[in-house]
Structure 1
Amino acid sequence: MAMQSPLDFSVDQKSKNLHLDYVDSINDANEKDQADYSGATAKTDPAEIRLVRKLDMRIMPIMWAMYFLNYIDRNAIANARLNGLEEDLGLVGTQYNTCISILFVGYLLMQIPSNMLMSSKKVRPSLYMSVCMGCWAVVSACTALTKNYVGLVAVRFFLGITEAPFYPGALFLLSLFYTRKEIALRISILYSGNIIATAVAGLIAAATFATLDHKHGLKGWQWLFIIEGAVTFGVAGLGVFMLPDHPLTTRWLTPEERQLAHDRIARDTVDSEESKGVLAGLNQAIRDPRLFLLAFMQNMHLSACGFNNFFPTVVGSLGFGDIITLVLTCPPYIVSGICCVVVGITSGRYNERTWHITFSMGMAVVGYIISCVTLNKGGRYLSCFLFASGAYAVNSVILGWVSATLGQTPEKKAASLSFINVVANASYIYTAYLYPKTDGPRYLTAMASNTAFGVATIASTWVLRWWLQSTNRKIRAGSIPGADTEVLYAY
C-alpha cells in the first residue's frame, strides 16, 4: 500500500474543504430559493428538527399547565358568583365589578419590571416563574378566607401582582426559542390553556358545588378556591425542573443544542441590533412607533374579549338554571380552542397575519351583532360560539407579530411584549363595567362595544400591514443602513 505524502494530504484536504464550501453554497442557495417573501425558511437540518421537538416536549406541557391554572384561579370568582359569593360577602352595586377590575391594577403594575428582570439574566426564569406561581396559588386559596368586600378587594389586588410575571414571561421565553414561522402555533397552544380553562372551569365548579357545598362548615365557592389553589401550588414545583432559562443557559440542553438554539433565533431576527442592557432595551421599544400601534391593536382585541369574566353570566341570560348554565359554558370554549390552534398552524405555515386576524375578528363581530339583535335562545347561543372562537383565535397571531416585528434585541423584545400586555390588559379594568346586571339579558352596551372593538382591531391590522410593506420596500432599496435585505418584516 503506497504511503500518502504530506503534499498529497494537503491537496486532498483542500479539495474536501472546497467541496464542503461548494455544498454549503448550494444549501444556502436552496434555502434562499425556499425562503418566503420575508426571508423565513422551513427547517431542513435534522439537528434543528430534533432540537425543536425536544423544546416542544419540555416547554409546552408545563407552560400549558401553568397557564391553564393561571386562568382557573383568576376566573374562579366568576363561577363562585353563581354559588352565593356576593350574598355571603355582602357585595352590592358594582362592588363585584370592582373586584374583577382591581386584579388588573396589580397585574399591570408588575409586568414590565418583571420582564425586564427576566431579560437581564440576573434571575433564572425557570425558578422565578415557578416561585411566582407558588405565591399566586397561596393568594388564590386565601380568597376562601375573605369575609367582606374589603378582604376580597385586597386578595384580588395581590393575586394580580403575583400572577403578573407569568404570561408576559411565558411569551418572552417562547420568543427566545421559536422562530417567526414557529411561534404563532406555540402561542396558540399556550393560549388554548386559557380557553380550555374557561371551558372546564364551569364543570369543575359544578362538581365542587354539588359535592362539597356546606361540607365542614364551608360553602362550595370556598372549597373551589382551596382545591384549585392546592393543585396550582403542586404544579409550581414541576416548573422549576421543566421550564427553560435562556438558550445558552438552559440546563437540560446539551452544549451543542444551546448554541444551535441561540444561532437559529439570531438568523431569524429582522434588523438585529447589539444588546446594550435592560434599560436600553426599554428605550428601544418606547422609541419604536410600531409598538404603540401593536399595543392599540392588542388592547382593542382584549377589549373585545372582555366577556371572558362574565361568560357564565352571559350564558345565564339564556334562562337556564345554575348547573345547566355552567355546563353550557363549556362547548363554545372547546370549539374556540380548536379554532385557536388551527389559526396558529396556518398563520405560521404561511407566515401570514393580516388576513387571519381579519377573518377571525370578522367572525367575532358577526357573533356580537347577533347577540345584540335577538333574544332567541338558539341564536344567542350560536353567537357565543362565533364571538368566542373568532376573538380568541386572534391572540396568538398578534403576539407572534409583536415578537417578529419588535425583536431586534432580547431586551427590546421583553420590554415590548410586557408593555403591550400591560396596555392590552388595561382593557379589563373598564370592560368589567360594561356588563351590569341591569343590562341583562341582552347586554346591549357590552355587545355593541365589542363590535366596535373588533372593527378597530381589523382596521389597525391593515394599517400595520401597509406600514411594514413600506418598510420592506425601503430595506430592499437600501434606504435603511445596515438592514439585511434577505430578512424582511412579515405581515
Structure 2
Amino acid sequence: MSDLEKPRASEEEVNVAHEQHSPERRALEKKLVRKIDMRMSILIVIYILNYDSRGIFHSFSARAARKRGLERDLHLTGEQFPTLLSVIGYIIMQIPSNMFLNTIGRPSIYLPGCMIIWGTISCLTGVTKNFVGALLTRFFLGFVEAAFFPCSTLLQWYKRDEIGLRTAILYCGNIISNAFGSLMASGILANMDGKLGHAAWRWLFYIGSFDNFHRNRCHFCPARLPHHVQMVVTRERELALLRMEEDAGVGDQDETEQGGPLHGLYLAVTDWRVWWLAFALTSQVVALSFNAFFPTLTATLGFSPTVTLLLCAPPFAVSAAAAFLLARYSSQVGERCFHMNLSFGLGIVGFIISISTMNTAARYVSFFLQAQQYAGFVVLYAWMSNTFARPPSKRAVALALINAWSQLGNVAGEYVWPSNWGPTYHNSYAICIACSGTTMVMCFIFRLVLVSENKRLDKEEEEQGVKTKGFRYIL
C-alpha cells in the first residue's frame, strides 16, 4: 500500500500541508512529487511497447513485411491492405474510455485490464488466416489500446507548471519508437521467417504480445484519480488534493462539477476551444506524417538498406532530447505558444531544405529539423492539459476528443506521400509546410484569446476585491 493510500493523518500533519510557504510544506511537496514520478514512470515503458505494437504493423505499408507473405497468407486484394491500417477503433473508443475512467476513478485496475486484453488480441493477430479475421483483430486492438494515452494524460496528479515536462517524458516513448521501431521490425522480418513454422510477419505480433508481462506493472501508478480520493487522508494525500485545488483555483468536487459524465461530455463538445485545438493538433499530425515514411525518405540519401535504417534513429533521438528540454524550459517560464511555434518553424525550415536540394548532407540535416517538431507537439499536448483543467468530467472528454480527432491526421497522412511523388516529394513537403503553418497561426490566435480571458479574470477579481490571484490560463 502506498502512502497515498494509507488511512487517517493527525490534525497537526494535515495543517502542515496547508502552510503553503513553510519549509515543511516544501519538503513534503518535493517528496510527494518524487514519489508520484516514480509511480508514473512505468507508463513510459508501457507507452513504448504500446506504440511499437501499433507502429510495427503500420510499417508494413512501406517496407518488406508486405512482401514477406502477409498479403499472400491473408489473401488480400485491392484496397484490403490499406484498410487494415485504419485506426477507427482507436478513434471511437477514446472518449468513452476516458469518461468511464473518470467515473470509476481507478486507473490502477482499469489500465492493466485493458493492457492484458490488447496483448492477447495482438497475439491473435498473428494467427489470423484471412482479411476478415485480420480486420476484426486490428479493429478491436485499437478499441482497447485507445484507453492508454488519453487516460495517461488524465492522471493529473501534477500542477500545471509540472505537467509539461511529464508529458514530454511520457511522449518520448512515441519518439523512441519512431527511432527504433523500423529497425526492430527489420530484424524480426530478416531473422524469424520460418521459425517454428511461422512466417516472419506473424512473429511481429507474437513478440509484441510478450509485453503483457510489463503492462501489468501499471498497477504501480496512483490507484485513484485526484477527485476520487476520500477526504479522510494522510498528509501526503491531503497535500496532493490541496495542490490540485490551489493550481486550478477551485476544488475538483465543488460547483464546477455538476451533472456527472454526460454533463462533462456536453461541456466539452459545446466548447469551441476544444474543437479549435482539435483541428490545430490534427493539422500538425498531418505535418508529422513523414514519420511513417521516414525509412523511405532516408533511402533517398542513397545508402544501403541497413545503413538507411541506422540513419533513421539519430534524428528521433535528438528529437526526444529536444522535447525534454523544450517542455522543461516552457514549464519553467510558464509559456507554451511561442515555444511550440519555434519548434514548428524550425520544422518548416527543414521541409524547405528538402524541397530545395537533393544534396545528401543538407537533406540529412533537414531530417533532424523535421523530427524535432515533436518537441513542439509535446508542448501543445501540455497546453491542452493546462487549458482544460476543470471540471474533471469535462477535462476527461476534452483531452480524449482532441486526441481522437487528431488521429484523422494519420489517416490523411497516408495519402500525402504517394510513391509517384518521390524521390523529391516536393508536393508532400509543401503540404507539410501548409499544415504546420496553419497550426502555428491557430495557436497564436488561441493565445490571443487566452490573453483576453486572463484580463477578464483580472478585472473580475479586482471588482470583487479578491486579494489572492486565482486560476489563470498558461499562454
TM-score normalised to structure 1 length: 0.84
Distance 1:457 1:43 in 2: 44
What is the aligned partner in structure 2 of residue 126 from structure 1? 108
What is the aligned partner in structure 1 of residue 84 from structure 2? 99
SS in 1 for 2:460: coil
Which of 224, 229, 237 aligns to 2:216? It is 237
Query: Quick check: 189-198 or 281-290, which moved more?
Result: 281-290
Percent identity over paired residues = 35
Which of 316, 324, 340 aligns to 2:323? It is 340
Distance 1:294 1:445 in 2: 26
What is the aligned partner in structure 2 of residue 85 from structure 1? 66
CA shift in 2, pair 1:115/1:365, >3 Å: same
Letter in 1 for 2:174: N
What is the aligned partner in structure 2 of residue 440 from structure 1? 422
2:172 paired with 1:192: yes
Query: Quick check: 241-250 or 205-214, which moved more?
Result: 241-250
Letter in 2 for 1:153: L
CA shift in 2, pair 1:149/1:269, >3 Å: same
CA shift in 2, pair 1:342/1:180, >3 Å: same
2:390 paired with 1:408: yes
Letter in 2 for 1:260: L
Distance 1:137 1:324 in 2: 32
Which of 109, 124, 132 aligns to 2:92? It is 109
Letter in 2 for 1:488: R
Query: Quick check: 257-266 or 154-163, which moved more?
Result: 154-163
CA shift in 2, pair 1:447/1:43, >3 Å: farther
Distance 1:186 1:149 in 2: 40
Contact 2:107 2:221 in 1 (8 A): no
CA shift in 2, pair 1:320/1:218, >3 Å: farther
Contact 1:474 1:480 in 2 (8 A): no
CA shift in 2, pair 1:317/1:220, >3 Å: farther
Letter in 2 for 1:114: S
CA shift in 2, pair 1:447/1:329, >3 Å: same
2:195 paired with 1:215: yes
Which of 233, 244, 247 aligns to 1:265? It is 244
Distance 1:427 1:202 in 2: 21
Q: Where do 5+ consecutive residues of structure 2 fail to align?
A: 1-11
What is the aligned partner in structure 1 of residue 370 from structure 2? 387
SS in 2 for 1:296: helix
Distance 2:463 2:280 in 1: 29
Query: Quick check: 149-158 or 371-380, which moved more?
Result: 149-158
Render the CA deviation track for 1:235-261: whole Å, top value 9, x for unaligned.
12211244532236679x972222211
Distance 1:262 1:117 in 2: 21
CA shift in 2, pair 1:93/1:441, >3 Å: farther
Query: Quick check: 369-378 or 149-158, which moved more?
Result: 149-158
SS in 2 for 1:305: helix
What is the aligned partner in structure 2 of residue 70 from structure 1? 50
Query: Quick check: 108-117 or 135-144, which moved more?
Result: 135-144
What is the aligned partner in structure 1 of residue 473 from structure 2? 489
Distance 1:189 1:379 in 2: 29
2:34 paired with 1:49: no
What is the aligned partner in structure 1 of residue 121 from structure 2? 139
The structural deviation recorded for 1:333 is: 1.0
The structural deviation recorded for 1:480 is: 10
Q: Where do 5+ consecutive residues of structure 1 fail to align?
A: 1-16, 32-41
The structural deviation recorded for 1:467 is: 0.6
Render the CA deviation track for 1:50-89: whole Å, top value 9, x for unaligned.
10000001112x1101110111101112444533324621
The structural deviation recorded for 1:412 is: 1.2
Contact 2:193 2:199 in 1 (8 A): yes
Distance 1:275 1:447 in 2: 45
Render the CA deviation track for 1:384-414: whole Å, top value 9, x for unaligned.
111111x211222112212221222111111
Contact 1:126 1:244 in 2 (8 A): yes
Query: Quick check: 398-407 or 77-86, which moved more?
Result: 77-86
SS in 2 for 1:418: helix
Distance 2:225 2:217 in 1: 18
Letter in 1 for 2:474: A
Contact 2:39 2:220 in 1 (8 A): no
Distance 2:35 2:332 in 1: 20
The structural deviation recorded for 1:441 is: 1.8
CA shift in 2, pair 1:43/1:225, >3 Å: farther
CA shift in 2, pair 1:360/1:260, >3 Å: same
SS in 1 for 2:93: helix
TM-score normalised to structure 2 length: 0.87
What is the aligned partner in structure 1 of residue 297 from structure 2? 314
Distance 2:281 2:24 in 1: 30
The structural deviation recorded for 1:271 is: 6.8
The structural deviation recorded for 1:286 is: 2.3
Which of 146, 152, 177 aligns to 1:164? It is 146
Distance 2:325 2:348 in 1: 19
CA shift in 2, pair 1:419/1:270, >3 Å: farther
SS in 1 for 2:206: helix
Distance 2:80 2:361 in 1: 32
What is the aligned partner in structure 1 of residue 378 from structure 2? 396
SS in 1 for 2:126: helix
2:278 paired with 1:278: no
Query: Quick check: 317-326 or 440-449, which moved more?
Result: 317-326
SS in 2 for 1:441: coil
Contact 2:337 2:447 in 1 (8 A): yes
The structural deviation recorded for 1:143 is: 3.0
SS in 2 for 1:45: helix
What is the aligned partner in structure 1 of residue 235 from structure 2? 256
What is the aligned partner in structure 2 of residue 455 from structure 1? 437
Contact 2:17 2:239 in 1 (8 A): no
